[in-house]
Chains A and B, each alone.
Chain A
């Protein structure tokens, strides 16, 4: 099994438009020759690496190894580097392997993500250590060494600390400015108000607000009616008219009772006494008066009690 090794440097890690910067290595292996006794196949190993300079503590470096094997040569995945510290200043934080069969062999893409924790006092040359790629063909195994990758790491400090200017060696960054959340706050406020208003309206519709005037329309009217005498039948009728008008939002007329019942279906229960009430009202206000005001007032109180029961949801 023959293996060619080449290293590419990338300006962008995800891009595959690298400039070929380093040497291309062609490393023969004798494994395949020993096995088959024929012309050994070549395995291509390409290392795609970013720029080798300009790193500071905490930076990550992504390497990609592309391996094309032939004649069924496979990568031994369980022997790949393990995630975690490689040495005291370098961690391997991520490793992914993609494999696809190609031309009787395999096309491997191995992504390695290193993170540098070296804090140099001046620009320093470091290297990611080399490691072996274990390969196997049947019971035969071989390794291919991925060479060390050299790069420079820079210090993250001032050239000279101006202590006379109040400077300390260790100084925090300027606090990051907050994102502008005015619109979000306004939206939240508006939503909250809408929810509260909807809840209040719903409570009003369901009659959960006991002190609300509309809720106790007929209660208040009933209280006033009790105090009135037969001679005040006109006032009593007016009071009940006002209660109906308030309930409806607009004046209720005899001819508009159908629409009133459509708007307030529970009051259909009072259809007959309400019709009588309007007849009494017409008789009192627009004709020659009610013949029996005692009976009229009594009927009006009963109607008011019925409406009160409807108002409270008891009927």
Chain B
């Protein structure tokens, strides 16, 4: 029964992934990670240049999930209260207080898109922390539960002025940090330029059927996946080594030119991060039609789950953009399994 249910959902998930692939072309990895996040119930931080399809991907994802979708733009004057309520004068001139984007749809809120999150103040980040971690918001003397909420935040890497870097705690609450780059395949680039299908996002998204994944069933199916996919002692040992290597790379033979490995790491991945890591890997195993985790599953999700959870010492932090991919790559290349 469980197998039958999981197989049915897997077919749906893979079909949805294919559909997303036709809407947002040249972003196979980003789409795969988005699907993994949906079924692992993890929040996603997107980073990339402007105009590469981040918003299109998220709108398509929200449409496929069904449920309510809210979007807010991060600005420097955005305050936490702006997410919870807004006030106005009604037609009779009376002041009114209405629920803000976080509370408006209540439990039906499935996708919350925080655009340009690094433009918002730390106070806003703090509110978001609790919302993401506990899927609830305290407002108007009561607690609002948002059980199906998935937060997708994005930040563009071009502009850094007047932005607030996300604190480590906020970053840690995102399951993935997905980098979306401009596609490099010439065929894809020509298609994006000359095919009018990709010029009008609304018309493009209208071709995608809504609510295919039944957002309010995802929590249940996600738990089923997590309990169904098994991991052996050897796999656990491999995962543990990957984790430890992110803390003490020198002990695991990780060497990078011009870097003192003993001084490199300020903080490695957190236990919560490693839990996200395994959850995502299990979803990948499920999508591959397996009921056991393989090292490939861990390796496939390791960069997106780890890169924003590892913090370098200040002396190396300014080289983060180049050093982090190299560090992750060295870990994956040097740790053997079994």
- Expressed in whole angstroms, the minimum distance between the Cβ of A243 and any Cβ of chain B is 12
Mark each residue of chain A from 131 to 170: 1 if its CB lies under 8 Å from any CB of chain B, else 0. Answer: 0000000000000000000000000000000000000000
The complex places the Cα of A296 from the Cα of B295 at a distance, in Å, of: 21
Checking B294, B296, B333 against A251 with a beta-carbon cut-off of 8 angstroms, the contacting residue is: B333
Known: A253-B299, A255-B299. A287 touches B338 (CB 8 A): no
- Expressed in whole angstroms, the minimum distance between the Cβ of A259 and any Cβ of chain B is 11
Q: Does A127 contact B (CB under 8 A)?
A: no
Q: Does A288 contact B (CB under 8 A)?
A: yes
Within 8 A of B (CB), among A231-281: 237-238, 241, 245, 250-251, 253-255, 281
Docked-complex contact B292 and A238, CB < 8 angstroms: no
Docked-complex contact B338 and A241, CB < 8 angstroms: yes
- Expressed in whole angstroms, the minimum distance between the Cβ of A7 and any Cβ of chain B is 77
SS class, residues of chain A in contact with chain B: helix
- Expressed in whole angstroms, the minimum distance between the Cβ of B314 and any Cβ of chain A is 30
The tally of CB-CB contacts under 8 A between chains A and B is: 38
Checking B295, B334, B335, B336 against A286 with a beta-carbon cut-off of 8 angstroms, the contacting residue is: B295
- Expressed in whole angstroms, the minimum distance between the Cβ of A268 and any Cβ of chain B is 21
Docked-complex contact A253 and B338, CB < 8 angstroms: no
In this complex, how many residues of chain B approach chain A with their Cβ under 8 Å: the count is 16
Q: Does B232 contact A (CB under 8 A)?
A: yes
Q: Does A60 contact B (CB under 8 A)?
A: no
Q: Does B139 contact A (CB under 8 A)?
A: no
The complex places the Cα of A253 from the Cα of B295 at a distance, in Å, of: 8
- Expressed in whole angstroms, the minimum distance between the Cβ of A114 and any Cβ of chain B is 70
Checking A251, A287, A288 against B337 with a beta-carbon cut-off of 8 angstroms, the contacting residue is: A251
The complex places the Cα of A253 from the Cα of B298 at a distance, in Å, of: 12
Known: A250-B333, A251-B333. A285 touches B299 (CB 8 A): no
- Expressed in whole angstroms, the minimum distance between the Cβ of B288 and any Cβ of chain A is 11
Docked-complex contact B294 and A286, CB < 8 angstroms: yes
Q: Does A93 contact B (CB under 8 A)?
A: no
Mark each residue of chain B from 263 to 307: 1 if its CB lies under 8 Å from any CB of chain A, else 0. Answer: 000000000000000000000000000001111100100000000
Residues of A within 8 A of B250 (CB): none
The complex places the Cα of A250 from the Cα of B231 at a distance, in Å, of: 24
Docked-complex contact A286 and B293, CB < 8 angstroms: yes
- Expressed in whole angstroms, the minimum distance between the Cβ of A230 and any Cβ of chain B is 18
Docked-complex contact A285 and B296, CB < 8 angstroms: no
Docked-complex contact B232 and A251, CB < 8 angstroms: no
Residues of B within 8 A of A241 (CB): 336, 338
Residues of A within 8 A of B83 (CB): none
Q: Which residues of B line the A interface, CB within 8 A?
A: 231-232, 234-235, 292-296, 299, 333-338
